[in-house]
């Protein structure tokens, strides 16, 4: 196990608020096969690990709440926090259209205890960590919001998948993180993350990793013409299958870690 410090030492800059991306985000992610594959992968992990539909869920950096909405349909109460009022407005619209309750607050996850002081049976943090200036600082906070015996579902942008795409696109001296230009445009996650470093810190914080999956480990590396020829269902099936296998899962664009906190009664 590596001994990465639990806190970051990077200079502080603001995290990435999605106000200007909100409308495009729904269109470019969830209305596409990439977003549908993400939802399928998460649903399969929840099913395989028998997470069920917990009573309470906190979605930190929840955006438009697409995955939370699926759990709300099974009766889970959703509390959602995000720094983007545009994303929150879209989340409220989606829940209202589905006639489902949602408690949505505008605020940063670093200040979560001001809005939602309690612990939850399930905490989601999906595709947020890589947009934070100090991603490792957030991990103890995320873990602290999980009840004993509860779950943390953490999905983040994978350093290895990012670098492999850069290489396959001919950028043989690709930087590990976003270039300054992409960073200024705000369209690329500023911190692709090494899954082993994240997993080590979670374990140091007392979490047990029940599922380690790569998402879009086949989809993103297959030529579009080949995807069209074999069809989206076949691509999805391969992605779901190889996303659980070494070494392919390490090339996923995202990694999903589904982790459990020890119950007070556990040894
Ligand atoms: C890529 S989106 C992901 C949204 C959602 N979790 C999902 O999986 O669809 C990242 C979200 O994180 C939010 N965000 C960024 N920094 C944040 C912070 N410090 N606290 C709370 N939300 C934050 C953004 O506004 C945006 O809605």
> What would the pLDDT profile of 175-196 be if each residue is shown by its tens digit?
565 566 666 666 678 789 999 9
pLDDT digits (tens, 9 = 90+) for 36-52: 999 999 999 999 999 98
Atom of ligand 1 nearest to the CA of 138: 19
DSSP string, 2-54: ----SS--SPP------TTTHHHHIIIIITSHHHHHHHHHHHHHHHHTT----
Task: Evaluate whether residue 146 is within a structural domain.
Answer: yes
Atom of ligand 1 nearest to the CA of 19: 25
Q: How far apart are CA 181 and CA 179, in angstroms?
A: 5
Q: Is 46 left (phi over 0), alpha (psi -120 to 50) or beta?
A: alpha
Q: Residue 223 contacts by C-beta under 8 Å, 6 or more apart in sequence?
A: none
Atom of ligand 1 nearest to the CA of 132: 16
Q: Report the nearest-CA residue for atom 13 of ligand 1.
A: 61
- How far is the centre of ligand 1, averaged over its atoms, from the C-alpha of 241 (Å)? 28
Q: How far apart are CA 64 and CA 200, in angstroms?
A: 30
Task: Evaluate whether residue 183 is within a structural domain.
Answer: no
Are 120 and 62 spatial neighbours (Cβ–Cβ below 8 Å)? no
Task: Evaluate whether residue 41 is within a structural domain.
Answer: yes
- How far is the centre of ligand 1, averaged over its atoms, from the C-alpha of 189 (Å)? 11
Specify the range with the lowest mean pLDDT, choosing from 27-36, 178-187, 215-224.
178-187
End-to-end, the C-alpha distance of the chain in Å comes to 22
In this prediction the pTM is: 0.90
- How far is the centre of ligand 1, averaged over its atoms, from the C-alpha of 63 (Å)? 5
Task: Evaluate whether residue 101 is within a structural domain.
Answer: yes
Relative to beta strand 77-82, strand 56-60 is parallel
Structure tokens given for 173: 């001296």
Radius of gyration of the chain (CA): 18
Structure tokens given for 77: 């109460």
Strand partners, 80: 59, 104
Q: What is the pLDDT at residue 16?
A: 79
- Total tally of structural domains belonging to the chain: 1
Average pLDDT over the chain, rounded to whole?
A: 89
Pocket test for ligand 1, best of 27, 40, 83, 122 (most atoms within 8 A of CB): 83
Task: Evaluate whether residue 11 is within a structural domain.
Answer: no
- How far is the centre of ligand 1, averaged over its atoms, from the C-alpha of 83 (Å)? 7
Burial (CB count <10 Å: 0-12, 13-18, 19+), residue 135: buried
Q: Which domain does 68 fall in, by range?
A: 22-158+192-261
Q: Which residues line ligand 1 (CB under 6 A)?
A: 15-18, 61-63, 66, 81-84, 87, 108-110, 126-128, 131-132
pLDDT digits (tens, 9 = 90+) for 92-142: 999 999 999 999 999 999 999 999 999 999 999 999 999 999 999 999 999
- How far is the centre of ligand 1, averaged over its atoms, from the C-alpha of 52 (Å)? 24
Q: Report the nearest-CA residue for atom 20 of ligand 1.
A: 108
Are 84 and 18 spatial neighbours (Cβ–Cβ below 8 Å)? yes
pLDDT digits (tens, 9 = 90+) for 142-164: 999 999 999 999 999 999 999 99
Task: Evaluate whether residue 168 is within a structural domain.
Answer: no
Q: What one-character DSSP code corresponds to residue 50?
A: T
Task: Evaluate whether residue 12 is within a structural domain.
Answer: no
User: ∠ CA(246), CA(137), CA(38), 5° rounding?
Assistant: 40
Atom of ligand 1 nearest to the CA of 61: 22
Q: How far apart are CA 67 and CA 227, in angstroms?
A: 25
Q: Which uninterrupted H or E stretch holds 79?
A: strand 77-82
Q: Report the nearest-CA residue for atom 3 of ligand 1.
A: 127
State yes or no: pLDDT of 243 exceeds 90: yes
Are 215 and 262 spatial neighbours (Cβ–Cβ below 8 Å)? no
| Sign, CA torsion 203/207/210/214 | negative
Burial (CB count <10 Å: 0-12, 13-18, 19+), residue 152: buried
Which CATH number does the domain housing residue 80 bear? 3.40.50.150
Task: Evaluate whether residue 114 is within a structural domain.
Answer: yes
Evaluate the omega torsion of the peptide bond into residue 247 and state whether it is cis, within 30 degrees of 0. yes
């Amino acid at each position: 196990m590596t001994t990465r410090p639990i806190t970051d030492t990077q200079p502080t800059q603001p995290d990435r608020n999605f106000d200007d991306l909100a409308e495009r985000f729904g269109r470019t992610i969830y209305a596409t096969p990439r977003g549908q594959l993400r939802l399928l992968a998460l649903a399969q992990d929840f099913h395989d690990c028998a997470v069920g539909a917990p009573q309470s869920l906190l979605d930190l950096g929840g955006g438009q709440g697409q995955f939370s909405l699926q759990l709300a349909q099974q009766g889970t109460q959703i509390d959602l926090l995000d720094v983007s009022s545009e994303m929150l407005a879209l989340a409220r619209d989606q829940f209202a259209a589905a006639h489902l309750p949602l408690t949505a607050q505008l605020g940063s996850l670093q200040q979560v205890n001001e809005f939602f002081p309690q612990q939850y049976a399930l905490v989601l943090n999906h595709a947020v960590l890589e947009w934070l200036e100090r991603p490792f600082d957030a991990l103890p906070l995320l873990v602290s919001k999980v009840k004993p015996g509860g779950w943390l579902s953490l999905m983040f942008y994978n350093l290895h998948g990012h670098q492999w795409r850069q290489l396959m696109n001919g950028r043989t001296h690709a930087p590990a993180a976003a270039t300054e230009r992409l960073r200024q445009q705000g369209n690329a996650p500023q911190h692709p993350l090494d899954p082993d470093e994240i997993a080590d810190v979670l374990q140091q914080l007392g979490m047990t990793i029940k599922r380690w999956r790569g998402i879009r480990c086949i989809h993103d590396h297959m030529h579009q013409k080949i995807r069209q020829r074999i069809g989206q269902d076949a691509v999805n099936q391969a992605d779901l299958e190889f996303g659980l296998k070494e070494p392919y899962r390490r090339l996923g664009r995202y990694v999903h870690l589904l982790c459990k906190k020890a119950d007070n009664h556990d040894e």
